[in-house]
Amino acid sequence: MSDSFPRAGFVKRLLVIVYDLLAVIALLMLTTVANFIVISLLEGNGLIKLDGYVDHSAFLNNQWWFQAELVLVTWFFYTWFWYDGGQTLGMRAWRLKIQSTNGKPLTLKRTAIRALFALGGLGNILVLFTPKNKLSLQDKISNTEVVLLTKEANKRVYLRGVEDPNQTH
C-alpha cells in the first residue's frame, strides 16, 4: 500500500467511472462523426454503395470494424491517460491517481493491461470484497493501485510541466 496516500474506495471509483463515461461518450461521438464524414465522402465518390441500408448510421452499425474501432478508442482513452500522468479526467476531478505498487513507473504496456482487465469498470467490484487492501481486479493484475490524493498533490500531478509564471529565470 502507498505510504503517502490512502487507497481509493469503491464509491470514489464509481464516481470517477460516471465522470469519465461522459468524456468517453463525447470521444465516441467525435469518432462516429469522423466515420460519417469518411463514409459520406466514399459514397459521394462512388467508392462504396449503401444499398440495403437506410442511412449512413445503419451502414456503420453493421460494420464489425466500426464496433472494434469504438472499443479501441475507449481502451486507448484509458490507457493513454493512465500512462500520461496516472489520471483520467474524472480522476483529476475526484483526486485519484493510479500508481505502481512496486515503485516502478507506469508503462504503456502496464496501463494497456490494466484497461483490458478493468472489464468496463466491473473489475472494481472486487474492492467491495477486499475492504482492507482496496484492490480491484485490474489493480491486482497490473500491479497498480488507485490512491486518493490531497488537493495539493493533485494539482502537482496535473500541472506538472506547466511553468510557474511567478518564477524568474
Residue 52 burial (C-beta neighbours within 10 Å; 0-12, 13-18, 19+): exposed
Confidence (pTM): 0.86
Is the distance from CB of 29 to CB of 35 less than 8 angstroms?
Answer: no
Largest CA distance in the chain: 66
Is the distance from CB of 87 to CB of 98 less than 8 angstroms?
Answer: yes
Q: How does pLDDT run along the chain (169 residues), one tens digit per residue? A: 455 899 999 999 999 999 999 999 999 999 999 999 999 999 999 999 999 999 999 999 999 999 999 999 999 999 999 999 999 999 999 999 999 998 889 999 999 999 999 998 999 999 999 999 999 999 999 999 999 999 999 998 878 755 444 444 4
Is the distance from CB of 21 to CB of 28 less than 8 angstroms?
Answer: no
Predicted confidence (pLDDT) per residue in 131-141, tens digit: 999 999 999 99
What's the rounded Cα separation, in Å, for the pair 165 and 75?
Answer: 36
- Cell 470521444 belongs to residue: 27
